[in-house]
Chains A and B, each alone.
Chain A
Amino acid sequence: MKRYSAFAIAREALRGHIGWERAWRSPEPKAQYDVVIVGAGGHGLATAYYLGKNFGITNVAVLEKGWLGGGNTGRNTTIIRSNYLQDPSAAIYEKARSLYETLSQELNYNIMFSPRGVLMLAQTEHEVRGYRRTAHANSLQGVKTEFVSPDRVKELCPIISLEGPRYPVLGALWQARAGTARHDAVAWGYARACSDMGMDIIQKCEVTGIRTEGGKVSGVTTTRGDIGCGKLGIVVAGHSGVVAEMAGFRLPIESVALQALVSEPIKPCMDVVVMANTVHGYMSQSDKGEMVIGGGADGFNNYTQRGSFHHVEETVRALVETFPIISRLKMLRQWGGIVDMTGDRSPIISKTPVENCFINCGWGTGGFKAIPGSGWAMAELMAKGASPLADGFEMHRFREGRFVDESVAAGVAH
């Protein structure tokens, strides 16, 4: 792999940009791999990357039915934070956030991590108490957050209106080292590094069946032929239920549409991320100047990657109250992704009833922030059979009543 550098840019500029290589190879699938990962979203690619980097397992294929990063990884609003409530969540999200800090250097790929800070507004007394509690929990977990006053909120985000007609801003949970990153670049950077380690990333290859022998996984059937494997990792987000059914087990997951939208680009006016969970809306400004907006998920099962219009309307209505400055902005694009929701709003990183078959799913509306930590944990689980970071996220936690309840901390979709 030719490294990207300032020198490389200068060299290529002088010779008409003829020397750039393809970022990853597109090989034909082989008959057999040590490990097959289904789904080339951020979580699948990160799993493959850490299998290679941390455990030297590189005879790996990542199979993707569409194009790499074309699922939720390329559709999310890129908020990265780790201010969750429960200990297992804090551990994995904080691991992910800290890996994000140096990921550009590690992958030699600019993922544009921008630790600009995230404010989660408290707009009811209940939320004030909730976020104070989260701030205390975070300080015990070693995650730096603080509960800040309305004046501080105004200082951090001058375009905010504190005296909202429905919900005044009573304070906020502030995580200064949270932020955003470029979503596609995260997928592309991992893909390039995986390909460089000799792994095969095979796009337009849909897994249509899972083969087992004596209760053990032996391979997959795909639209590009049968592929054998020693171990299988299912990392397909919204399609987890469909692929789990191929392997013959059920999941506590339902798939629903979550939408986002962006405005026309405007001059820089906001250099933090603001989330308003009570009114179901959040906003940040991209480097291009677009206001990036997201809100609540639909309430019914859906695989169409299109959401309901009234959710967009509700989100925008709430945000116009909080940010009156955006009331005349034109919205440029709107899209949806299919998110995999668990009952406790926490992910599943787990062994499955099929031996050597592992699953990583249930990130729902908030898994972009977790990609490096999740890949790290999943790789360790697949290589060694256990991972401290995955502890607590087993699929059997539901039957045992050991929920990792983040329905409050996750509040709104992000």
Chain B
Amino acid sequence: MLILRCPNCGIDADETELAPGGEAHLRRVGPEASDDAFEGYLFHRENPRGVHFERWRHAAGCGKWFHAARCTQTLEVFGTYSAQVTDPPQDIRDAITARRPGWRWRDIE
């Protein structure tokens, strides 16, 4: 059972209280973008075996969105953080580096 600490209300929420929201930090491309870029934004998804960043909603709790950093190979949780950032904060990156030196996700390392 996956347990994530909701950074909005501080509760350790188990999976049944949470709604998964898919890949984190998607960047919408502008109207002048190429078809390739639009395809990437709309359909292509990071699907790593290892470090992954996701959006979650504390659906049966405070109802608010947040971000989580997880390992899809072991289900280890590296940490959760605010939904109101466009990149993972440094403390989360450090927590991942401590456990997975040399990790990389998109162009973030």
**B95 within 8 A of partner (CB):** no
With A250-B40, A398-B43, A399-B38 known as contacts, the answer to whether A308 contacts B1 (CB < 8 A) is: yes
Which segment, of B25-33, B69-77, B86-94, faces chain A? B69-77
A250 touching B44 in the complex, CB below 8 Å, given contacts A301-B72, A303-B49: yes
A74 to B9, CA, bound (A): 43
The answer to whether the Cβ of A158 comes within 8 Å of any Cβ in the partner chain is: no
Q: CA of A4 to CA of B7 in the docked complex: distance in angstroms?
A: 63
Please report the total number of A residues contacting B with Cβ < 8 Å. 24
Q: Does B107 contact A (CB under 8 A)?
A: no
Check if B1 sits within 8 Å of A310, measured CB to CB: yes
B47 within 8 A of A: yes
Q: Give the Cβ gap from A65 to chain B, nearest Cβ, in Å.
A: 12
Consensus secondary structure, chain A interface: mixed
Q: Report A227-251 CB contacts with B as 1/0, cut-off 8 Å.
A: 0000000000001111000000011
Chain A, 291-308, CB within 8 A of any chain B CB: 299-304, 306, 308
Contacting residue for A301 out of B19, B36, B47, CB 8 A: B47
Stretch at the interface among A147-155, A162-170, A252-260: A252-260
Contact, CB under 8 Å: A304 / B74 = yes
Nearest B residue to A244, CB-CB: B47
Pick the contact of B44: A252, A300, A310 (CB < 8 A). Answer: A252
Q: Footprint of B on A, CB under 8 Å?
A: 239-242, 250-255, 299-304, 306, 308-310, 343, 396, 398-399
Query: Which 10 residue pairs across A and B have the least CB separation, nearest first?
Result: A241-B47, A399-B39, A252-B43, A299-B20, A300-B20, A250-B44, A398-B43, A303-B49, A301-B72, A303-B72
